[in-house]
Chains A and B, each alone.
Chain A
Amino acid sequence: MYATRFGKQFAASALALAVSWSVQAAGVTDDDLLNDQDTVDDVVTYGMGLQGQRYSPMNDLSTENVKQLQPVWAFSFGGEKQRGQESQPLVKDGVMYVSASYSRVYAIDAKTGEEIWQYDARLPDGIMPCCDVVNRGVALYGDKVIFGTLDAKLVALNKDTGKVVWIKKVADYQAGYSITAAPIIVKGKLITGVSGGEFGIVGKVEAYDPNTGEILWTRPTVEGHMGYVYKDGKKIENGISGGAPGKTWPGDMWKNGGAATWLGGTYDPETDSLFFGTGNPAPWNSHLRPGDNLFSSSRLAIDPDDGSIKWHFQTTPHDGWDYDGVNELVSFDLKENGKTIKAAATADRNGFMYVLNRENGDFIRGFPFVDKITWAKGLDENGRPIYTDNGRPGDPADMKGEKGKVVVAQPAFLGGKNWMPIAYNPNTELFYVPSNEWSMDIWNEPVSYKKGAAYLGAGFTIKPAHDNYIGVLRAMDPKTGKEVWRYENTAPLWGGVMTTAGNLVFTGTPEGYFKAFDAKTGKELYKFNTGTGIVGTPITWKMGGEQYVSITTGWGGAVPLWGGEVAKVVKDFNQGGTVWTFKLPNDNVASR
């Protein structure tokens, strides 16, 4: 007995030693991840730093020379599978790791654009992901490339060969779960959320061992569900989310409350908190579920060690518009009145931007980042919305056989901002927010069916708020809540943003242009037509002494699926699937 236990301990510590050795010997370390925002030679995290600022301290590219930016290579994802490419690439040791639609991953020589390996996840028949077949990126750790699949699995690949090391099922795709977000790695733990819009799911955040795929803890994001930590193969209770069921939900509705964590999360090492946003509550008809419906449409601060919820901030209590609350919470230092506050900001689907104290979730201020908000008159001193009278879609149960009264809501349910990440520049102290100006008409359908049975359905149409533009890239000042500059775009913006110490802001448009702007003034300095719509997020890194910029291109995502009258604006955009990589021509670098 004794000897066996000793033997086990020895084996375990030897294993731990071996693991830490291998991590140091090859590939990405915990230090690499923690310092990603400061190291220019690589991009090893989704968000270009775990805090998600998407800021690079590089200034080789500047407002002066960015107009000379030229493509150096383009890599096609190939195959017949295209649709939306929402991935952010990673770069480490001269190799780019990028995911593509339909749960594909590629390793590419970052110098030449030549393929090193490709991995295609085998997706089951009959899978029904709700909102296009996107993937937003991979995580790197040690010698592994790890990503989530449309059938809700985590897959770890060897970074050199693309061969599978382990596959772990996170949730049941048949029950409506999926994974589209990039996982993150924090303190040696692989952290992931889940997607799923179907009625009946419960959102969760989970931690896995990145070396083995073993689960470490799970935290449901709906009040009333038990969280667990796993130790030595045992599942140990770790407290009910929100303390008890039924506090903010009627009946047993908390059992299937939604709140999917479909956009992944960020991490702040200073407060040692994971920040995850949560999706809308279920069912869609808010009249069935009076109450705040925690923790739907919220931001959660989660302890990375055991998954405990430290604090929450709910942006849309009792969400009846499908505003959802998954948007990323970006940590930054708010310098105000001679003090530096550990703050974080988030631009919500509901049209408001929130500045919170990231130590405790306290509301500092909130303000609209879109031109018009119809559903709320404003926010109270705690950041809770003051609802407009008659701004809530009607109860389908009140139907009397005719089309119901039309309620106009702005922003539309696709949001003032949707999934596409914002960026923060500590030099300008501004947030760069890709946003959209659109409204929706919602009404109750007179006749509707589901699975062979009569049903109560709601209809909706999304409408552009203006004749000549929908997308607006905005520079927002977190101190004043004021818009400092704006760039208007004909089609809705659906790609992420990056900013640099070169006083630049980069993003792409569905029209296919990769663009750079002056971070202080918003002046457009550069554009390049990539040939298909851009819904990806740019990165920048340094290689051989030169600054490179990359973006995935390929039109798709939710807009063409749910665009309503917006479809007229985007229907002629062609699909694609390419990584474009840019740098300055060599002679320009030399003469700079």
Chain B
Amino acid sequence: MFKAHRDLNMRPDLEFISSLVKPGDRILDLGCGDGSFLCHLRDDRKADVLGIEIDPAAVGRCIANGIPVVQRDFSDPMDFLADKSFDLVILSQTLQENKAPDQLLKEIVRIGKLAAVSVINFAHFSCRFQLMFRGEMPRTPQIPYHWYDTPNIHLSTIDDFRKLCHQLEFDIVEEVPIPARFPRLSKLYPNFFAVGGVFVLKS
């Protein structure tokens, strides 16, 4: 199932990513779903957009939305996209579904002057409690799947992700925790209180 995120209020990570976009920017969204976020960037932020999406139905919806979209698995090589050919490459809550997240991250910071990666925090307290007290694999509004039907094969925590960025020698330009509740605590202890985070990266 592809993602639809028409209502930005439901997705604070997208709201933040949207604020990074200036008029005329070239934006690439990997796993763009039905293209509604790109519609918003095109119409409200006056950006020049392109989506990559593997789901044929979602590709059809992008075309209906007038969003240029290329049907493709973005795990496949993206050597046809030149270095720094986009102002911003967006990867929103899809990294964990990818077979080689580290390779993908290297690609997006190569292609984008900036990359905005929104990650799900598997160390959020609700996850921790489910695992600790119930002894079950956590399920949350961000990760609603059972262990056996989840597309998420590389879940990480915010700390894990930050570590990987250092290891890959990316600059973390900005890091914004996404709280469900407790916004102040999420800022102080994102790895415990935030349900996710947006990292703005560059190489």
Q: Do A and B bind each other?
A: no
Chain A residues packing against B (C-beta within 8 Å)? none
